[in-house]
Amino acid sequence: MRDILPAEKAARERVLGRIRSVYRAHGFDEIETPVVEDAARLFSGLGGDNEKLAYAVMKRGLTMDDLAAAASPLDLADLGLRFDLTVPLARFYATHRAQLPSVFRAIQIAPVWRAERPQKGRYRQFVQCDIDIIGEPGVVAEIELITATAAALDALGIPGCRIRINDRRILTSMLAALGFAAESHPAVLITLDKLDKIGTAGVTAELTERGMPAAAIAALQAVPAFAAFGAEAATHDAPAAAEALTADTIAAVLPADADAQALTDLAAIAAAVSSAAPLVFDPFLVRGMGYYTGPIFEVAHPELGYSLGGGGRYDGMIGRFLGADVPATGFSLGFERLIDLVEPDAGDDADASALLYDADAELGAVMALKAQLVAGGARVRLLARPKNMKAALERLAAEGFTRFAVVGAAATADAATLDWRRLDTAS
């Protein structure tokens, strides 16, 4: 977790503003949810490994006897800090369904918390930028999400991104064809999700340690896309980005007959978004969350070894809270990773003015001057005139101020009489 200094905070807000603007232009509405959720919801088994990284909040009024009697740490918690924005959204929709449209398009931009091992681009508190569509069972939802996300990346001036895509139904049918028992699929998927971190040898070793059948592991190793993982351009390009993604080209790189509806859905998505975003089919894209049920996707960038965001369809989650299944799908951008790729700009304070007042200046006149400038749309900073003017002006310029004026004892309350001078780092 970290502090954000003023200049960085201003830059972050400008970027967030662009993202919000794009998402609203695509028909999404912003909501807000609490930072905590009931522990029973957060630790329900749907969050995959991220549940292990969640912060639990201890119950109030615990006694030493309560601590001694607890079978696990979670017995002592009734709340937890959200580790993503999808579980809170599902609870939000179940609570407010009667007040929402039949197809609800939501924006959530907010911090989440995970007990990560901090490293570049990875923090324990970080901002996610989510868009979700609830109530639409067809692939038009995925098409809208991918198109809006690609538009946001374009608006931020981040070129070269590709969207890797797969489907949980394809993964399930592939694992069954390779010989993995249905009850072992969640564990196998957790291991496959580490493929880009531990490589094919690491995945093979972990599957062996988990007691998976040797014949199934050998069949997995024989899949060309698995064997080629970690090679150059072929790593995720099966079929390549330049090749049209159709049901036939996707099926051609799979080891056995895949789920037919999943192939049809992916082909329809690819055809509809081809002009907005380059898609690459990745047969071993898993996405760690346990709640995904259909198409899944991630944003890849050529200069990074990690994704900028991802998402997928999670049709079963809302039913946990509502008692009736509701189709849902979402796409999340990881803001902390994104902000490092955005070129800084001069900001939007076109008239950022500083008033440097002398010790003998009449404070009523100083405040009247400030009020006039603010009323005219300027951003105004008051600063007692320092002895070291050069250092003060350099700091003001670095903070985005564009001009300054000195207010002396004889100054009037008329802003038109101020002697403005340009502010730059050479002042």
Give the CATH number for residue 113: 3.30.930.10
Does any domain span residue 215? no
- Same domain for 361 and 244, yes or no, is no
What is residue 407's predicted lDDT score, i.e. its pLDDT? 93
- Same domain for 119 and 22, yes or no, is yes
Q: Which domain holds residue 390?
A: 352-422
Does any domain span residue 1? no
What is residue 92's predicted lDDT score, i.e. its pLDDT? 94
- Same domain for 61 and 105, yes or no, is yes
- Same domain for 161 and 34, yes or no, is yes
- Same domain for 394 and 280, yes or no, is no
- Same domain for 357 and 302, yes or no, is no
CA dist 302 and 107 (Å) reads 27
What is residue 49's predicted lDDT score, i.e. its pLDDT? 62
8 A C-beta contact, residue 137 and residue 314: no
- Same domain for 141 and 237, yes or no, is yes
CA dist 262 and 120 (Å) reads 36
CA dist 328 and 136 (Å) reads 7
Strand pairing report for 56-58 and 36-38: unpaired
If one counts every other C-beta atom within 10 angstroms of the C-beta of residue 31, the result is: 20
- Same domain for 398 and 291, yes or no, is no
- Same domain for 25 and 84, yes or no, is yes
Q: Report the alpha-carbon angle 296-228-246, nearest 5.
A: 45
CA dist 21 and 19 (Å) reads 5
- Same domain for 50 and 137, yes or no, is yes
What is residue 125's predicted lDDT score, i.e. its pLDDT? 93
Question: How many residues are recorded in the chain?
Answer: 427
DSSP annotation string for 399-423: TT--EEEEE-TT--S-GGG---EE-
**What's the domain count of the chain?**
2
- Same domain for 333 and 362, yes or no, is no
Which residues of the chain are under the pLDDT cut of 70? Answer: 45-50, 121, 230-243, 345-350, 425-427
CA dist 424 and 386 (Å) reads 17
Determine the 3-state secondary structure of 311 from DSSP.
strand
Sheet holding 77-81, edge to edge: 36-38, 77-81, 56-58
Residues 6+ apart with CB under 8 A from 258: 169, 170, 173, 174, 250, 251
Strand pairing report for 29-30 and 104-113: parallel
